[in-house]
Structure 1
Amino acid sequence: MTESRLLISNPALLHKEFTPPFPAFILLIQRRNEVLPSQSRQTSWIRCYDTNKAASEENAKPNKGYFGRDTIADAAAKIAPAVASLYAPKRGQNVDAEIGSGTAIHEDGYILTCAHVVFDTTNVVYSADGKVVVHLQEAEKEVVGHVADAYADLDIAIIKIEKPTSPLSTAKVGSSSKLRPGDWAIAMGCPLSLQHTVTLGIISCVHRMSNELRRGGMMEYLQTDCAINPGNSGGPLCNVDGEVVGVNVETIKPDKASGVSFAVPVDFISAILKPFENCQSPVRPDFGWVMRNVSDGVLVRMVIKGSPADRAGIRTGDVVVEFNGKQVRDLKEMMDAMGERSGAPVKVCVKRGGDALGPLTITFVEKDVARFAANPRSRF
């Protein structure tokens, strides 16, 4: 019996047909070696486009040319001096306290943070009557600040510390409107009271609605996968240019999910921030009130004694129904009506006990008017 054999007339063709292709990464390396000179292969630079500012691929421009090993560190270094740790002792308790973070937004001593850091947003009960201990990276010691403004349903508050002897380093505010999923995101703050902590991630979603998070209202959030922990709340979310694009507010509990965190987009609160950015006149641009939504307008939950709102005759329990000549039914409409006030007097109409009052004129306080205790730097 003869043994049958398979005769191949063209061994080279058989080799080509049955040899598996090289893995994709090998082909990529081979192509890279063919295209790039040897000197380029030794660098760590990667081409990077500024997707935070580019409206389309046609007008996308390189962001400083390249994305390198120092890009994130340089961005963090730009904003680090403006990042503060906050410590808000709870009423009647000397040990237990709420911890959080903040960002200096004006050289005279205004700090942006979350409302829930400084008081219970459900009942709006101030921690230690609105006093907050503030520690900035460039300061030698802690100082005591007070809540200047708060908007509970936005979870945003402004803290005012005594005007420093030298201007504070402030953060540059960017824009959140052109962020895209996949853009780099840098979270900064003081989680668990660990000063000067930086975490890195990406923008996971740019329009996460509050109803998706089983919250009321019509808020929008930036979703990121940056590590956010207790104490990060109120700290800045930044882009690779070191600009603030959001305010970190919370994260999903670790036992339910990982890498799901949220921030308030800066463009959503631009009406609160612009007066501090544009404040060139000798006035304090804060109102001195705590606000939250109710069914028929915006409720004044608290008026800070001696503040512009207090001087105008606005009282706790008033409901703002008109602001700068425009009807307001919620905080979003109030933000739209605020516009470019920048220290200009504001006319407000309110309801008090069912009666309509107004317009009441809010005139902002001169910067050099003292609003603090005789020894504001003392610890309590």
Structure 2
Amino acid sequence: MYASSLSVLSWSSSSSSSSRFIQDSFRQYPMLRRSLALAFIASCNCYSPLLLTRELTSRSRATSGGVHLRLFARQDPSSWKPSRRDAMGWMTAGVASALLQGYATPADAVISDFAKLRELEDLQAEIFEQSVPSVCFISTEYTSMAQQLNLDSNSLPKGVGSGFVWDDKGHIVTNFHVINKVDSAVVVLTKTDGTTEKYKAKLTGVDPDKDIAVLKIDAPASLLRKLPVGDSSKIKVGQFSFAIGNPFGQDHTLTSGIISGKNREITAPTGRKIKGVIQTDAAINPGNSGGPLLNSQGQLIGINTASLGAGVSAGVGFAVPIDLAVPTIEQLIEFGQVQRAILGISYLERVPTASESERSGIPRIEKGIVVLEVPPNSPAAAAGMIAVKRSKDPKSKPELGDVIVGIDQYEIKDPLDLSAVLAKYKPGNKVSVKVLRGPEQTPQTLALTLGAFQGSAFTKLENERG
């Protein structure tokens, strides 16, 4: 049978109630039939790829209620002996055929499923080919860091990141952490014919709180192909997602997966939280940062930013949703900075625990925001806000200054409230800030004119505006 003979195996169904139930199920759910047929073929390919060819043929229900399964052995040497792998293949065939009893699986249904698979492959290939000219390779250098460490600049590895074309004026979007503290950055564009062009990047602006940066290159508009922007608010868990970038320096690598989760939270380089983040299992590795996350239509739905894992993808990647990023990108291009209203203070990111309060000496409060610093010339300083007072005596505990508990009609219980409330205003707006002052927690109201966020990248990149 294994050497050169032809074997025809047939399992016929009985009229038992269980078999009839299976028949009814297969008639009602065609996808079940197709899935089992594909599973059978996959199992045979897995266990006996060199031995078997398959043919599933339908038989008339009038003559037989079973599946006619033909397994053709190839002309192998008579000395050939079946292995455990081959035996497993036959066992799988038996199980699959028993499950399929009572229904004749049409060969054309299997062919149709493989045709759909080819269509999916073609779709993925088309998404990649259409997107390649829009995805950038970003190489960065840290010359000043080498000088500080008294090292040869060539001894420090170059940084690698990704980005994508935003408009035909040469603006490139990437992550803030890709260009933070760098001395120079080179953006590499890939033409439709596969050749590349390199351009020195200038800095347009950054928003560290959202881990977003915009660069500028002087490239001809004919080479600048922007990605179509999708609607990240409409994504659903389970939908396909595609990441394109330069992981570990491997330029234009495509990885695919699904949307694994929504409304996740990650930490920005500033320590602030980025909310509403997309989770995907498309592999995101070092070098993917700043690259695009695409949907099945090739539309931009997110900026690949981070992943869980010790330096390699663990199947849990995160992308800043494009709906969240667009206002920031547009403001950076127009103004060079985000138009985010600020008080101009530093404050505790959360209410300290009892033990933290004991160690630091800062009194524990039930709600509100403890003002730690009020820089000179800040909006808060102009309004007369008071920070925590620290004594020169190391044994003395700090004295509480102002605790912010409200802005206009809005209550401020914690830093999340402050961020949400300030998002309702623009720089230059006048507000009334309610504080509890000093150890006695005396209520005060301060008239304050909101300032504008000034993003700093700690970089020596030339600024687009000079």
Structure 2 distance, partners of 1:256, 1:75, is 25
CA distance in 2, matches of 1:89, 1:136: 18
Partner in structure 1 of residue 185 of structure 2: 132
Alpha carbons of 1:79 and 1:187: their partners in 2 closer, same or farther (altered >3 Å)?
A: same
What runs of 5+ residues in structure 2 fail to find an aligned partner? 1-13, 38-57, 59-102, 147-152, 348-374, 381-407, 411-416, 431-445, 453-462
Structure 1 residues 90 and 240 mapped into 2: Cα distance closer, same or farther (>3 Å)?
A: same
TM superposition shift of 1:220: 2.2
Q: Does 1:173 align with 2:235?
A: no
Partner in structure 2 of residue 16 of structure 1 = 16
The partner residue of 2:129 within 77, 89, 109 is 77
Report whether the alignment pairs 1:267 with 2:267: no
> By how many angstroms is 1:219 displaced?
2.1
Whole-angstrom distance in 2 between the partners of 1:296 and 1:71: 50
SS in 2 for 1:177: helix
> Could you tell me how far 1:253 is from its partner in structure 2?
1.4
How much does 1:257 deviate? 8.0
Contact 2:331/2:339 (CA < 8 Å) preserved in 1?
no
Q: Which of residues 23, 29, 35 is equivalent to 2:33? A: 29
Q: Distance in 2 between matches of 1:163 and 1:229?
A: 28
Distance across 2 between alignment mates of 1:36 and 1:20: 16
Q: Superposition RMSD on alpha carbons, in Å? A: 4.9
Q: Which residue of 2 aligns with 1:152?
A: 208
- 4+ residue runs over 6 A deviation: 17-27, 30-37, 45-48, 290-295, 329-338, 354-360
Which structure 1 residue ranges, 5 or more long, are not aligned? 1-13, 49-65, 120-125, 277-284, 300-315, 339-346, 361-369, 374-380
The reply to whether residue 231 of structure 1 matches residue 287 of structure 2 is: yes
Give the one of 167, 177, 196 matched to 1:116. Answer: 177
Alignment of 1:91-110 (within 5 A): 91-92=143-144, 93=146, 94-95=153-154, 96-110=157-171
Q: Per the alignment, do residues 18 and 264 of structure 1 end up closer, same or farther by CA in structure 2, a change over 3 Å counting?
A: closer
Query: Which of 84, 105, 112 is residue 43 of structure 1 equivalent to?
Result: 112
TM-score, length-normalised on structure 2?
Answer: 0.50
Distance 1:17 1:166 in 2: 69
Q: Partners of 2:256 and 2:320 in 1: how far apart?
A: 17
Q: Who is 2:440 aligned against?
A: none
Residue 86 (str. 1) matches residue 138 (str. 2): yes
Structure 1 residue 164, shift from structure 2 partner: 2.4
Check the 8 A contact 2:343/2:379 in 1, yes or no: no
Q: Deviations over 1:129-168 (max 9, x none)?
A: xx31100112633111122110101001101112426351
Distance in 2 between residues matched to 1:18 and 1:44, nearest whole Å? 28
**How far off its partner does 1:196 sit?**
0.8
Cα distance in 2 for partners of 1:39, 1:248 equals: 41
CA shift digits 1:327-380 (9 cap, x unpaired): 9x9777777768xxxxxxxx7579xxx9978999xxxxxxxxx9589xxxxxxx
Tell me the equivalent position of 1:208. 264
CA contact (8 A) 1:208 1:222 kept: yes
Q: Which residue of 1 aligns with 2:238?
A: 182
* Aligned length, in residue pairs: 288
CA apart distance, 1:275: 6.7
Say which of 287, 296, 307 aligns to 2:335: 287
Structure number having the greater strand percentage:
1
CA distance in 2, matches of 1:317, 1:25: 76
CA displacement 1:214-268 (0-9 Å, x = unmatched): x643522111111111100000000010011000011111489821111100111
Q: Would you say the 8 A contact 1:188–1:236 is kept in 2?
A: yes
**C-alpha contact (below 8 Å) 1:294/1:330 kept by paired residues:** no
- Distance in 2 of aligned mates of 1:248 and 1:100: 11
Percent of aligned positions that are identical: 26
Letter in 2 for 1:29: R
CA contact (8 A) 1:84 1:135 kept: yes
Which of the pair is proportionally richer in helix?
Answer: 2
Q: Match for 2:327: what amino acid?
A: A
The one-letter code matched in structure 1 to 2:182 is S
| Higher-Rg member (1/2) | 2
CA distance in 1, matches of 2:341, 2:309: 27
CA separation of 1:45 and 1:127: change in aligned 2, threshold 3 A: same
Residues 291, 156 of structure 1: CA spacing in aligned structure 2 closer, same or farther, 3 A cutoff? farther
Distance in 2 (CA, whole Å) between partners of 1:334 and 1:162 is 36
Q: How far apart, CA to CA, are the structure 1 residues paired with 2:311 and 2:204?
A: 36
Question: 1:188 offset after TM fit, Å?
Answer: 0.5
TM-score (norm 1): 0.60
In structure 2, the residue matched to 1:252 is 308
Q: C-alpha separation between the residues in 1 aligned to 2:421 and 2:125?
A: 38
